[in-house]
Copies of this chain bind each other. A is one copy, B any other.
């Protein structure tokens, strides 16, 4: 209700602010008996954390996660898993200037208006830093989906500004993605993206792009017919990521230019399994997964923080000039890849558990 939780049976509640004592979250509804330790979560966190490569912010944060509950002798017990990441450097620098104005396209103005109070230190609750516990929870979801269903989730950077990786390989692997720091699976394109990001940083500017995500081996039957369609819950999950501005599944916006006779996915018998020849549907029909790969894309705007003079107003509504300081991401996409995967994993795992309760109910 308060908007800090996602999921129904498998629910994650996120808490914390950028420069508070800690950030963290609570994962409810994790099945019992699963081997789990911090080592399962750290790789995803390391792919999200600052300072991991030359093209992301050079801030140093270890993002070491601690599991505080829900485990007994290395296995989950079915009770809530509490995750915590201590904020290492709580000494706030001087935020007195920022407290007096509204940074363009940040959450400063809306938080101030809604709450009458605003944690200016590092952006407080609106900082992308608070996605870290979500990534840790997503790693648990992914482990469950992999273990019980063999699901694989791979996201990658499809475009940075106008530089686009236009191929599509449904069998793309995370290893291929991780070959470049920008997380585009084709190295020649990746190199151009990296150069673009570096040039942008030198200008004190920022750029956006598109992330594509492919999910293989999804069980048939996940999603609900009307409002909790699987694509609807994925759309919500993706639009809840900081800086995201759009979501499309399967053919998406480009598919609006096709005719039905081009766009329909013919069913075929593929070695005894019913599949579709094309996949414009993106793996979901009528709100329910059909067993084909789920494919979607998420648009990310250029980050709002730029190291250039900008016009804005102060709390009194007077025009002022603002120029950000410090180390920032000129492009969020490389670090957003594991966030997209985590949100997808949380969404699918919840729907899988919701569906399980109804499966195999034989009747009169």
Contacts and interface: CB of A to CB of B under 8 A. Distances in A.
A269 interface: yes
Nearest to A350: B1
Contacts of A344: none
B14 A1 contact: no
Interface stretch (A49-57, A167-175, A177-185, A296-304): A296-304
B364 A358 contact: no
B264 A240 contact: no
B11 A1 contact: yes
Nearest to A12: B227
A119 B14 contact: no
A260 B106 contact: no
A285 B119 CA distance: 16
A109 B274 CA distance: 9
Interface string A298-319: 0111111110101111000111
Interface in A75-112: 75-82, 84, 102, 104-107, 109-111
A156 interface: no
A77 B232 contact: no
Nearest to A286: B107
Contacts of A8: 1, 8
A125 B225 contact: yes
Contact of A16 (B1, B68, B249, B266): B68
B1 A1 contact: yes
Nearest to A211: B256
A189 interface: no
A245 B248 contact: yes
Contacts of A268: 311, 313, 319
Interface string A259-286: 1111111111100101010001110111
A2 B224 contact: yes
B288 A107 contact: yes
Nearest to A30: B2
Nearest to A252: B246
A335 to B, nearest CB: 16
A66 B84 CA distance: 13
A293 interface: no
Contacts of A310: 261, 264, 266
Contacts of A166: none
Contacts of A266: 104, 310-312
A187 interface: no
Nearest to A101: B267
Contacts of A31: 358, 361, 363
A109 B267 contact: yes
Given A4-B80, A68-B16, A104 B267 contact: yes
A209 B130 CA distance: 37
19 contacts: A3-B28, A3-B224, A5-B5, A8-B8, A13-B80, A14-B80, A14-B227, A15-B79, A22-B82, A29-B358, A31-B358, A33-B115, A102-B267, A207-B259, A232-B237, A232-B240, A233-B236, A260-B304, A266-B311
